[in-house]
Chain A
Amino acid sequence: MIIVMNFSEYLKGVILLKNSKFAWLLSLLLVVALFLAACGGDKEEGTETTKDTEDTDATTEEVATDEEQVLNLIMNAEIPTMDSALVTDAVGFDLLNNVNEGLYRLNQDNVAEPAISEGEPTVSEDGLVYTFTLRDANWSDGSPVTANDFEFAWKRAMNPDTASEYGPYMMDGVIKNATAIMEGSMEYTELGVKALDEKTLEVTLEKPTPYFLSLMSFGTFLPQKEEFVTAQGENYAKNSEAVLYNGPFTLANWDGTGLSWQLLKNEEYWDKDTVKLTEINYDVVKEPGTGVNLYSEGQKDKAPLTGEFAMQYAADPELIHESETSVFYFKYNQERLGEKTPLANVNIREAISKAFNKQDLVDVVLANGSVPANYLIPKDFTFDADANDFRDVNGDMAEFNADEAKAAFETGLSELGVSELTIELLNGDTESAKKTGEYLKNQLETNLPGLTVKLKEVPFNVRLDLDTNQDYEMQIAGWGPDYQDPYTFMNLWLTGGGNNQMSYSNPEYDKLVSSSVNELALDPEARWQALADAEKILIDEDFGIGPIYQRGLMHLQKPYVKGIVAHPFGGDYSYKWAYIEGKN
């Protein structure tokens, strides 16, 4: 603002002085002076900073004192909100997981373990009523965390006035009466959660839910202190002062929309002795190259790498892989706008599912740590009681096999009574989506003679629209889990399911998947088997979808950063156990 005024005043001054021949000279001098000042300033500051770093280097070499427990991180987006009832995005869930704590928390092995809940809850015989006893824990203002804080927060998330998106989404069909409240036939105060006394919380479920305890670590089920929320009113969670914290850290210096904030160790946290970091400094950096520059300059301790940067740093000793739990696959639409598509033919679907080399795709095209997916339920995501990965139970399906693909395609073509086929492939329009699309088109056309793939690349919102209207033939889609159970993926393809949008329907599949949340809900082994069988039907018999890859992430991380835990759902990371060692 000031500069703009100065500029116009400067122009005005020039004009007023128009009779003086020195006017222009003066103004030019001003401009030159400004430029020189800018350059001069650079140099001065520059030498200062270089000297500073030299100094600190020299001193730190000699003095090995206690290490500063400070972590400097990059975030790729702003915090949209810190209200656990309103949060819907990765950044929000990630921060909430570090500044707040629910009944349960994911531990270092990604198993949900009691947190604010003092030990395991007592569960009624029918698996419907959970009674939690809360441990002695405090909010950051020193007041105790009570059972009412949970009751209030959950009911608030179901209150239509709050207009929460994730509240109803997560509670629907799980917490008693949530579905009826959502449909408007019941008041939100009827939700099946009740504070029996200060430290006892009773939760009633709609039906036995095997993954209920892992849900208790999810952001939507965090507590909120009623008096505080009511007192803040509209202002609640709009900046770091307008929220209370009961987790390992507190949020500071966040103005609500800004690009930087801090996490500070929460001295009121019940398990504060475990927390070693005193400070985490965040800056939002959306440009991957900038993140890498800040990392190599030493301002940041961790930087995410996208495709091209991942290749560039492939041999770097500071490169780390993190497997994510998002899976990408072909959705085969069997009925476009009410009309059958060629993809209604199971042989055509089989042919496409097996006709592309997934290993080359992840190694050469994506090169970001992704792995080939011959499955729907991701690796390193869900485990049975003996900590066996679900993936080890069910193995690989629909693997790349050009010969089988070709044979299936020929059968499919003759069944359809055609000699060649053109299929439209709907895809996103980001750089990496385009590269993936090109590669898959090439693979399919090479391995399936007679097939032409037409790429249709559109922005994300357009793709969602086309998906909702079922106006596409084949698309590359992906899904990330909302809770730690195969059901979060398997329920997508139930007949008439809200996210099916491709007319896939198999009564046998429906039966198996529904049984996992109904009659088999309390029988973990049979349930696991039912879900495994259902996955086989979906991918290896019906070829309802064609799995492509499980996304991975690559980061540069300084070797002195230890103990950051990456999670498969909910908040991405926990810093509760992180620490700095060997920096000096």
Chain B
Amino acid sequence: MTKYIIRRIVYMFITLFLIASATFFLMKALPGSPISSASKLPPSQLAVVEAKYGLDQPVPVQYAKYMLNLAKGDLGNSFQFKNASVTDLIMNRLGPSVLIGSQGLILGVAIGILLGMIAALRQNTIWDYGSTLIAIIGISIPSFVFATLLQYWLGVKWGLLPVALWKDGWMSSILPSIALAMGPLATASRFIRTEMIEVISSDYITLAKSKGASGFEIAFKHAFRNALIPLITVLGPLAAGLLTGSLVIEQIFAIPGIGEQFVKAIVSNDFSIIMGTTIFYSVFLIVIIFVVDVLYGIVDPRIRLSGGSK
């Protein structure tokens, strides 16, 4: 197990290195300049400004410098926010994104599991159809539509919750979290339903029944745990998707999050922020995938993690 984890960590660093390198060169291939008034400046002055930011050097040199700084944990300074450190910028903006992302995930997955179980245990009844309907709505309607509806009805019309802005503490996070929860809710409920139905019809459940286990015990102790495995598989990408995909939600609710910043950086060629956020997202995704793999072994004893088996 330890050997396996060490190996995985080494792989994680290699992956990260490759992602950082690829992003760096792709970014350099983007048209445009991070210098906002580049088109207005005469060449001599543009050269002065570029020299200040080291943009006058050949790309391989810039790359080497960047990677060296990265190894030291220095993500450089932003272009659009003149001289603001990228690390500070990400850290300042991380909190709101993580809060709404994780609340959305927990809420979505929890309700999704409930709905999925109800659907499976009451297969082909009105409960089942109702749960399916909710799942279809959750998958097919984009989260920003929910966000807009929630904002309008709960915020403006009924005045129950803040319309937008990050000013009322935790209250501000409720609507965005609910909007984000719809996707995971739908995914979770479908996965759980399918797996539960399959598990319920398997031999060991019949055995448990014949031994006299109660319906409740069968559902929760025997069936649910096995039904959970495929859900854990998608939990990683789901979590990463929530953090990275919350940019539209962040924009609609005017939340000072990280996703919103990422898009702006790409549009304005802010190299250091693009690199910083990409690396941050990659680390997040890589770690989540790793955690999920480890979790497998715990949830499903049939999967044994050892060196070489992967």
Report 12 cross-chain contacts, Cβ distance below 8 Å, ordered by A residue. Answer: A7-B105, A24-B221, A25-B220, A31-B111, A41-B174, A46-B159, A160-B48, A165-B41, A182-B45, A459-B31, A461-B31, A498-B42
User: Nearest A residue to B96 by beta-carbon distance?
Assistant: A259
Give B1 Cβ to nearest chain A Cβ, in Å.
15
Q: Chain B residues near A53: list those with CB within 8 A.
A: 159
Evaluate contact between A290 and B44: CB separation under 8 angstroms.
Answer: no
Evaluate contact between A1 and B164: CB separation under 8 angstroms.
Answer: no
Interface set of B (CB-CB < 8 Å, partner A): 30-32, 35-42, 44-45, 48-49, 51-53, 80-84, 88-89, 92-95, 98-99, 102-103, 105-107, 110-111, 113-114, 148, 151-152, 154-156, 158-161, 163-167, 171, 174, 217, 220-221, 224-225, 251-256, 260, 267, 269, 291, 295, 298-299
Evaluate contact between A15 and B299: CB separation under 8 angstroms.
Answer: yes
Evaluate contact between A238 and B84: CB separation under 8 angstroms.
Answer: yes
> 8 tightest CB-CB pairs across the interface, nearest first?
A461-B32, A163-B52, A46-B160, A31-B110, A81-B82, A3-B102, A465-B31, A24-B220
Further 18 A-B residue pairs, CB within 8 A, beyond A1-B94, A499-B40? A21-B220, A24-B225, A35-B110, A42-B160, A160-B51, A163-B51, A165-B41, A169-B37, A182-B42, A256-B88, A257-B88, A260-B166, A285-B165, A290-B254, A461-B30, A461-B31, A464-B31, A465-B31
Within 8 Å of chain B (Cβ to Cβ): is A419? no
Evaluate contact between B254 and A88: CB separation under 8 angstroms.
Answer: no
- On whether A88 and B156 interact (CB within 8 A), knowing A28-B114, A168-B45, A182-B44, the answer reads no
Which among A147-155, A293-301, A397-405 touches the partner chain? A293-301
Q: Chain B residues near A464: list those with CB within 8 A.
A: 31-32, 38-39
Evaluate contact between A163 and B48: CB separation under 8 angstroms.
Answer: yes
| Main secondary structure on B side of the interface with A | helix
- On whether A284 and B254 interact (CB within 8 A), knowing A46-B158, A89-B36, the answer reads yes
Q: Chain B residues near A83: list those with CB within 8 A.
A: 82
Give A27 Cβ to nearest chain B Cβ, in Å.
9
Q: Chain B residues near A49: list those with CB within 8 A.
A: 159-160
Evaluate contact between B35 and A165: CB separation under 8 angstroms.
Answer: yes
Q: Chain B residues near A460: list those with CB within 8 A.
A: 32, 267
User: Nearest B residue to A92 by beta-carbon distance?
Assistant: B82
* Cβ 8 A contact of B83, one of A31, A81, A299: A81
Evaluate contact between A297 and B107: CB separation under 8 angstroms.
Answer: no
* Cβ 8 A contact of B254, one of A32, A166, A172, A287: A287
Evaluate contact between A11 and B295: CB separation under 8 angstroms.
Answer: yes
Evaluate contact between A161 and B254: CB separation under 8 angstroms.
Answer: no
Instruction: Name the residue in B45, B114, B158 with the highest tally of chain A Cβ atoms < 10 Å from its Cβ.
Output: B45
Q: Chain A residues near B83: list those with CB within 8 A.
A: 81, 86, 234, 238
- On whether A285 and B80 interact (CB within 8 A), knowing A4-B102, A163-B53, A168-B41, the answer reads no
